[in-house]
Amino acid sequence: MTNARCLVWSLPTLLFAASATASTSMPLNMTKGVTEISQQVYQLHMTIFWICCVIGAVVFGIMFWSIIRHRKARGVQPASFHESTKIEILWTAIPIVILIGMAIPATKTLIAMEDTTAADVTVLVTGSQWKWHYKYLEHDVEYFSLLATPREQIANKLAKGENYLLEVDRPLVIPTGKKVRFLMTSDDVIHSWWVPAFAIKKDANPGFINEAWTRVDHPGIYRGQCAELCGKDHGFMPIVVIAKDPADYQAWIVQEETRIAAAKAAERELLAMNMSMQELMSTGERVYQGWCVACHQATGGGLPGIFPAIKGSQLVLTDRAAHIDIIVNGKPGTAMQAFGRQLSLKELAAVITYTRNAFDNNTGDTVQAADVFAVQQGKGE
């Protein structure tokens, strides 16, 4: 019987060992992870797994023994017993004892997981359809983290890369050896931030904050995904965390602060500048591919009944001010977000110009950073 069960367990393994081709091989068990907590979780998982295996082996063993021995074909006469208080009490009591034995370590680990006090670094994680936003509370560093896998790979037009669907443009960076606390929240629907290597899975609820923490001992790149169905592109909002040793982390923070400050300064300069149509269109296309394509599609045709088309849109073709406004301020109550706070002035100007001229819209006009800035300041056309 145990053999039969082993066979059932190993059957898929064998089949895959045989069919293991060039693609990355998949682990067959839960990851041990890279934190003390994740190892405890793995231990709990293995303990309960083996308990189940032993119970299964005993119960199924008796059952199959009975199936083999007590068959009519062997000419046996059925027995007539149908009750035994003693044995019934026994098989109620034994599972209770096993369960208590299991509950104790589970409780200990759970309490340790929930202790978010005395953190060294705190990151506010905000989910939105369909990207993550990270904000370091101790520093002026915040940014969005988007899927970096090109749409062509998803559409099978290009060969898929090694980290297909598990790569982002800007990963989260945390220091090793420090207690990092995550505060989770959401801008729209419920998302769930999951990094298996840390054994963290916590829902990001709109309007509420949740907490989780980790302490990673070794530098490395750890990947995860959104775990709660959050709409169309739920499968396309991965998480990448890079753990760096504290010195590297500090250097990275400084570099990010400088980068963000420089970008802000550049914004001011932009206001006086006129960008060429060509520059706007090429930047705009890049922004469109990253931020707009999920809903409005590569053709600009949207999805009928859900996401409006940009191609031939009356709003785009006839009302330039409204076009700028809807991109900067969004449309409340719909999936159209206020991108004014998410993108830089240059990116906004570029993507508006792009959508005004791509998809046969051909309005021929450009939108400059100053035009966008004016709308942001409430002084639109």
Residues 245-274 touching other proteins, rule: CB under 8 A, are none
Q: Which residues pair with 121 in a beta bridge?
A: 180
Please give the C-alpha separations between residue 68 and each of 1, 60, 190, 276, 296, in angstroms, as whole numbers. 11, 12, 52, 83, 63
**Is residue 137 within the footprint of other proteins (CB under 8 A)?**
yes
Counting other chains too, the contacts that 201-206 makes at CB distance below 8 Å and 24 or more residues apart are 201/227, 203/228, 204/125, 204/126, 204/127
Angle subtended at Cα 147 by Cα 143 and Cα 151, rounded to the nearest 5 degrees: 140
113 touching other proteins, by CB under 8 A: yes
In whole angstroms, the minimum distance from the beta carbon of 377 to other proteins comes to 6
DSSP SS3 for 331:
coil
- Tell whether residue 88 is a contact of other proteins (CB under 8 A): yes
Residue (187 or 285) nearer to other proteins, CB: 187
- Mapping DSSP to helix (H, G, I), strand (E, B) and coil, where does residue 156 land? coil
Using CB under 8 A, which of the segments 180-188, 251-259, 270-278, 355-363 binds other proteins? 180-188
Interacting residues with other proteins between 25 and 44 (CB under 8 A): 25-31, 37, 40-41, 44
Chain centre to alpha carbon of residue 282: 29
Regarding 377 and contact with other proteins (CB under 8 A), the answer is yes
Site membership for other proteins, residue 59 (CB under 8 A): yes
- Binders of other proteins among residues 214 to 243 (CB under 8 A) are 224-236
Q: Which stretch binds other proteins (CB under 8 A): 193-201, 264-272, 274-282, 362-370?
A: 193-201
DSSP label of 292: I
Beta strand extents in 137-231 (DSSP E only): 141-145, 172-175, 180-186, 191-195, 200-204, 210-214, 220-226
* The only residue of 6, 10, 71, 315 in contact with other proteins, by rule CB under 8 A: 71
7 binds other proteins per the rule CB under 8 A? no
CB–CB of 198/214 below 8 Å?
yes
Residue with Cβ nearer other proteins (47 or 363) = 47
Segment interacting with other proteins, rule: CB under 8 A, options 121-129, 239-247, 254-262, 281-289: 121-129
Q: Which of 86, 104, 118, 276 binds other proteins (CB under 8 A)?
A: 118
Tell whether residue 200 is a contact of other proteins (CB under 8 A).
yes
| The only residue of 82, 247, 278, 360 in contact with other proteins, by rule CB under 8 A | 82
Contact between 185 and other proteins by CB under 8 A: the answer reads yes
Please work out the total of residues on this chain that contact other proteins, with binding judged by CB under 8 A.
137
Q: For residue 349, which of 294, 289, 290, 267 has the smallest C-alpha distance? A: 267
Other Cβ atoms less than 10 A from the Cβ of 354: the count is 25
Compute, in degrees rounded to 10, the torsion defined by CA atoms 66, 70, 73, 75.
160
Stretch that binds other proteins, among 19-27, 248-256, 343-351, 362-370 (CB under 8 A): 19-27
- Residue whose CB is less far from other proteins, 230 or 350: 230
Minimum CB–partner distance for residue 16 and other proteins (Å):
6
Per CB under 8 A, the segment of 80-88, 247-255, 263-271, 285-293 that binds other proteins is 80-88
Q: Which helix (H) or strand (E) holds 135?
A: strand 131-136
Residue number with CB closer to other proteins (160 or 178) = 160
Give the residue with the Cβ less far from other proteins, 162 or 269: 162
Cβ-based nearer residue to other proteins, 184 or 280:
184
Task: Indicate which single residue of 36, 39, 57, 102 sits in contact with other proteins (rule: CB under 8 A).
Answer: 102
Pick the binder of other proteins from 6, 7, 10, 107 (CB under 8 A): 107
Beta bridge partners of 212: 182
- Rounded Cα distance between 310 and 327, Å, is 12
Cis link prior to 130 (omega < 30° from 0)? yes
Instruction: Give the pairing of strands 210-214 and 131-136.
Output: unpaired
